[in-house]
Structure 1
Amino acid sequence: MASVTFIEKPVTLIGNELKPGDKAPDFTVLANDLSEVTLQDSKGTVRIISVVPSIDTGVCDAQTRKFNEEASKLENVQVLTISVDLPFAQGRWCAASGLENVKVLSDHRDLSFGEAYGVVMKEFRLLARAVFVVDSEDNITYAEYVSEGTHHPDYEKAIEAAKKAQ
C-alpha cells in the first residue's frame, strides 16, 4: 500500500492500492440531492477522480477548483471530486464556490469508493488525498496517492494523463 501521512502522522489506508493498467472499480456515492452516482454513470468519458479529505479546507478547495478549471479546457473529460463530507455540506460549498459544472460527490454513506480505491484513512474515517485518471473504457491510466494529506497533488501530471487518455 501507498505510504501516507495526514498532518505528519502515518495513517492506515483501507482497501487495495490501484495502479495504471488496473480496471477502475465501480462504486456508489451520493450527489448533493442524495441520488446515487456510480462510475458507470460517466462511462464513455475520461474521468479525473479528485479525492479530498474535506471540501471546505484550503487545499481541498484549491484542488477542486484547479482540476475543474483545467478540465474545462478539455473535451470529453469530467472531474468527479469525492470526499466523505455530507452531501448537504458539499451542496453549500458548491453554491458558494461559483463553479457551475463541478461534480462533488459524497462517500459518507458506505465508503464504497474509498474502500474500492484504497483511500480510506482508518484513523479518521476520511479519504486520503489522491487523484485517478480513468479512460473512457474504465481503465486507470494515472494514480497518485499524495504522500502527505495536507499537500497538493501533481496537477500537471494528472492533467497530462487526462489529455493522453482522450
Structure 2
Amino acid sequence: MEVTLKGKPTELEGKQVVVGEKAPEFKLNNLEDKEISLSSLKGQPVVLSIVPDINTSVCHIQTKRFNQEAANLEGVHLMTISSNTKEQQANWCAAEGVGMEMLHDPEKVFGKAYGLYIPEMNFLARTIIVIDAEGIVRYQEIVPEVAEEPNYEAALNFVKSL
C-alpha cells in the first residue's frame, strides 16, 4: 500500500491487517515498562491510535483528542502506539498532562507486523485500528496522507456500536 507525506508517495512495508481477520499478536512495553500484549486485552474492544512521532503537531492533536474521547468510552482499551522511545513518550505525556496508555515501538516490530512501517521515513503510518473483544479487526483507517488527521468520528462511532 502507498501513502504520502506532504504529497510525496512512499510504500508501507509488509502485509496490512485485514478487516474481518484475526489481529496479529503484539507485545509492546508501556511507560511503566509493563509488557502489554494483544492477548492480554481480550474480552474488551481495543482501539489502537498509531502515530508516526508523538512530538509532531498532527500526532500531538490526534493523541490529545483520543485521550479526551477515551474518558467517554467505557469497557474499551484505548492506547497510542508510536515509534518514539519511552523517554520521548513520557516527556510528552508529562508536558501535556496525558495519562492514557502509551506503547512504544522504537524497533518498529508492531509496525512491521501490521504492515504500517514506512522504511523510507523510518516511522509508522498514521492509523486507527479497532479490534473486537475476540481479537478480530473490525475497523481500520490508514490515513492516506500521513500529515493529515484520521477520521475520529468514524472510528469512535464504530467503537460505540460494538
1:98 maps to which residue?
A: 97
Alignment RMSD, CA only?
1.3
1:8 maps to which residue?
A: 7
Aligned with 1:108: secondary structure? coil
- What CA distance in whole angstroms lies between the structure 2 residues aligned with 1:34 and 1:74? 25
Q: TM-score, normalised by structure 1?
A: 0.92
C-alpha displacement of 1:26: 0.8
Q: Please, which of 134, 138, 148 is the counterpart of residue 137 of structure 1?
A: 134
Matched, 1:53 2:52: yes
Q: Deviations over 1:71-113 (max 9, x none)?
A: 221211121100110011101111111123x11111113x221
* Contact kept in structure 2, 1:14 and 1:119, CA below 8 Å: yes
1:42 maps to which residue?
A: 41
Q: Post-superposition, which runs of at least 4 consecutive aligned residues in structure 1 deviate over 6 A?
A: none
- Where do 5+ consecutive residues of structure 2 fail to align? none
Amino acid at match of 1:127: L
2:123 maps to which residue?
A: 126
2:83 maps to which residue?
A: 84
- Give aligned pairs, total: 162
- Where do 5+ consecutive residues of structure 1 fail to align? none
- What CA distance in whole angstroms lies between the structure 2 residues aligned with 1:148 and 1:157? 17
- The share of aligned pairs that are identical, in percent, is 40
